[in-house]
Structure 1
Amino acid sequence: MGELTQIVPFEMVDAVLAECGAVQQRLRKLPARVVVYQLLAAVLFAECGYVAVWSKLTGALRSLPLPQITATGLWQARTRLGVRPLQALFDLLRGPATAIRTTGARWAGLLVVAIDGTHLDVPDDPAVRARLGKGTNQYATSGYPQILLVALVACGTRAVIDATFGPRTSGETTHGRRLTRSLHTGMIALLDRGFASNTFLRAVADTGAVFLARLSAARKPPVLHRFGDGSFLSRLGDMEVRIVECEITIATTAGRHTGVYRLATTLLDARRYPAFELVRLYHERWEVESAYFAIKKSMLGRRVLRARTLPGIAQEVYALLTVYQVIRIAIADATDSVCGADPDRASFSVALHAARDQVIQAAGVIAGTTIDLVGGIGRAVLDHLMPTRRLRVSPRAVKRPLSRYAYKSLRVDRRTYKATISIDILLTRPISP
């Protein structure tokens, strides 16, 4: 895995294999440790088949007597390995990847995290389709079967703290309940309307974490007491919360758009946590969308997963999450080495391509006597830091329509605009449109 091997060293992989009882019983062409690294490398080269990935993984080792590997042999090795070693490896590596000094990771002393879900396409194999189903419309079924991935992401670094996945029919909140195991005191969880049910909010509050969630327009929480900053004390079920109602206007050269937001939080101290700052903080929820973009676009290139069995799909998803997390750790190590460097300015694509080059060259596999926390990947990131993020908006539209001509008839404006935002805290109930 090139330099990434220093984050996922041989000893870590061997310990995981031993813990899961997945160490090979006899010496094979493909020992279990090699199969783990093969699966991780396959994530870096999503456009290649497994045999081509093997060629890249061993490309710099041609002077050594390497065994001849076939596609069937690789398939059998992956099947023998199973899912548990990749899941255990991800469990070891998942986390916020933040240091105390990491810029933008915390707000008012709280680690800012977000929960959201996305869908991954999987092969349209009969067994997979029978288990996961397919999307339907009024005419017929369409598209690929999909799995629902729900993740708890640290907004400051976009690292994955925890993740779960399964059939999309179970729904985001069902999968999201499993992620409450990783919430704790000292966190503030940003949630969209899909996670704002009383039951889910209570589950989050019971972990000791606080939340900032957007409520749907249909909910009308009672006003129990009005605070000086315009927010008011209210109640959701048996839970005491503070409500902030605001009007946000986005102005671009294409026009103006105004929307009303209603946010609920368990932070009841209006002086310590002003309403205006809470509204600004809620925008950080979109960092989880940036994490999904890196996984689905930068890493997968919007491709369908390779595996054609449910255990194989689970194995591949854990490998995908593991490699994503390892790259985020490398980025965090690099930005932490520069005082005041915000991880938002680090390019995931630059880090990904640098990691691929390291694999092909078999470079940086073994750490030197002097530990370099930045390394080749980190230096590539620091050499290409992006400018401070500009305020821009673009429409939420289907990025991969069934027809590439469909968006023309819908007249969807896909351009990105520079924007200005104004926030007004509402002191009275907005009039429903």
Structure 2
Amino acid sequence: MFGLTMAMIGGCGVVCPRPAARPCRDQLSLGVLASYVPRDVVDEAVEQAGKAARRSDVELTPGFVVYFVMALALFADDDYEEVALRMAGVLADWGEGFDPSSGGLSRARKRLGPRPLELVFSQVARPVAEEDTVGAFFGRWRVVSIDGLTFDAEASMENIAVFGQPGTAAGEASVTQVRGVTISECASHAPLLAALGPAGSGKGSGERTLARPLLGQLDSDWILLADRGFYGFADWCAADDSGAALLWRVGADLRLPVLRPFDDGSYLSVVIDPKARGRARETLLATAAEGLPLDRARARHVRVVEYDIPDRDGSGSGSQELFALITNVLGPADGQATALAALYAWRWEHETGNQQLKTYLRGPGKILRSRLPELVYQEVWGYLLTHYALAALICRAATAAGIDPDRVRYKRTLRIVRRRVADPSFSP
């Protein structure tokens, strides 16, 4: 493993993804946070959300509070006042007064709400891997994946009313939970799209429900990897209609008739709307088998790649698990079956990114600070923004060094950024 050295950070040649409208010192004094989340983007998001500064905000402007929420994610072990003191030099650069109390910071967070941070994320979260970044592309496609994660939040009455309270064998849990679904770049682990909601078992709280609005936002030069929990016919169609390439694992209960075998061991098949039954289904199958155009609202051609993984659970019993992948890459010329099977394993990069966010950035076993649902959402958006900035920094430094981003240690990068976040000499 390689560590990220100060020389790598300072000399990697990385530039801001969007030129800042403010003086450069604003970026430097906020270190990596403002380098990947520029102040002009923050100002625009605050304005768009209708949260522009009021007279009473002279010391704690909405723009500062956005960065403060990101800093809360960066310094998860510190209280409000300690985090604010770490940023005191930032306000000095901006020429604003600074003597906040915990109560004042809490009120400022409530005034801001979650929407500005959500808008900032939608503006800055862009792919950061370049053409020469190791492990970033499969053929002409940028490799991305979708997965879910949960955050524990305080079981206040307000949070329970919105998020519910999971049960345990001993009764009700002492925390409530918020769920996130992200689409992330596999090479960098940078989240590109995200949706948040309750993590309970009620209607509208599942991963597929949260994922649904993201699937239409895929770029046509992406290939999206997804586990079997995300497949549904309507969801597959929404993702397919985006123009992106797809490689999804599906469950054993999905019927995949063999329409035409390919020399690489894969075969052409069709997925059909489960509402089409009986004669309607048979007609769609016959149309697909004859190679005729399908009613795309009811059926889609797919290519199937099947393979076994022996002893996946490590039991040594010799048992095998069958993987069935479907893809809209319909010809072997654009991806051999063995290559697609190996590509699917890249989905685990998403698990690594989730671990970086939840275990290293937030800290193992920690719960979110916020007692109100709108502040819980605000806090999670802050974590996603801060994780994006760190992932982008690592990826661009690794690309400049010609190494895989996985070889740059996240924890060491995090320590460096924490030390230098308010250092005017820090240059990303």
**TM-score interval, normalised by the smaller of the two chains:** 0.7 to 0.9
1:313-356 CA-to-partner distances (Å, cap 9, x unmatched) read: 11111111111111112112212222x32222122212211110
Partner of 2:85: 55
Which stretch has the larger CA shift, 224-233 or 18-27? 18-27
Paired residue for 1:116? Answer: 147
Does residue 205 of structure 1 match 2:229?
Answer: no
Letter in 2 for 1:336: T
Aligned equivalents of 1:115 and 1:60: distance in 2?
35
**Pair 1:271-2:338 in alignment:** no
Secondary structure (helix, strand or coil) at the match of 1:145 reads strand
Q: TM-score, normalised by structure 2?
A: 0.79
Does residue 28 of structure 1 match 2:94? no
Aligned partner (choices 223, 226, 233) of residue 188 of structure 1: 223
Match of 1:72 in 2: 103
Greater shift in the superposed pair: 168-177 or 52-61:
52-61
Match of 2:323 among 244, 261, 265: 261
- State the Cα distance separating 1:267 from its structure 2 match: 1.2
Change over 3 Å in CA distance of 1:226–1:67 after alignment to 2: closer
Q: Which residue of 2 aligns with 1:322?
A: 385
Q: Tell me if the contact between 1:115 and 1:189 (Cα under 8 Å) persists in the aligned partners.
A: yes
Q: Deviations over 1:134-174 (max 9, x none)?
A: 22256622242111100011112111110001012321111
In structure 1, the residue matched to 2:256 is: 221
Question: Equivalent residue of 2:123, what SS?
Answer: helix
Q: Look up the match of 1:249.
A: 310
Aligned to 2:128: 97
Match of 1:18 in 2: 47
Whole-angstrom distance in 1 between the partners of 2:186 and 2:52: 36
Q: What is the root-mean-square deviation of aligned Cα atoms in Å? A: 2.4
Mapped to 2, the partners of 1:9 and 1:214 lie a distance apart of 38
What stretches of structure 2 of length at least 5 have no aligned partner?
1-29, 273-298
Question: Residue 165 of structure 1 contacts residue 175 of structure 1 at CA under 8 Å; is this kept in 2?
Answer: yes
> In the alignment, does 2:219 pair up with 1:156?
no
Farther-moved stretch of structure 1 (244-253 vs 200-209): 244-253
Give 1:239's aligned amino acid.
R
Does residue 309 (structure 1) correspond to residue 372 (structure 2)? The answer is: yes
Cα deviation, residue 253, structure 1:
9.3
In structure 2, what is the equivalent of residue 236 of structure 1? 271
Give the AA of the match of 1:197: G
Match of 1:398 in 2: none
Matches within 5 A, 1:169-184: 169=202, 170-184=205-219
Deviations 1:365-396 (A, max 9, x none): xx6xxxxxxx3xxxxxxxxxxxxxxxxxxxxx
Q: Are 2:59 and 2:96, in contact at CA under 8 Å, matched by a contact in 1?
A: no
The secondary structure found in structure 2 opposite 1:148 is strand
Alignment pair present for 1:337 and 2:372: no
Per the normalisation by structure 1, the TM-score is: 0.79
Write the mapping of 1:415-426 to structure 2, written as runs, cut at 5 A.
none
CA separation in 1, counterparts of 2:378 and 2:229?
28
Q: Determine the C-alpha separation between the residues in 2 that align with 1:189 and 1:229.
A: 22
Distance of aligned partners of 1:253 and 1:173 in 2 relative to their CA distance in 1, 3 Å threshold: closer
**Structure 2 counterpart of 1:310, one-letter code:** P
Equivalent residues in 2 for 1:285-296, closer than 5 Å:
285-296=347-358
Q: Distance in 1 between matches of 2:153 and 2:85?
A: 25
Report the number of matched residues.
365
2:239 match: secondary structure: helix
Does structure 2 retain, via aligned residues, the 8 Å contact 1:2–1:355? yes
| TM-superposed deviation, 1:40 | 1.4
- Verify: 1:300 aligned to 2:329, yes or no: no
CA pair 33-65 structure 1, distance change in 2 beyond 3 A: closer
The alignment-based identity, stated in percent, is 32
CA contact (8 A) 2:216 2:239 kept: no
- The superposition leaves residues 250-296 of structure 1 with CA deviations (integer Å, 9 ceiling, x where unpaired) of 58997466321111111111233111111100000111111111111
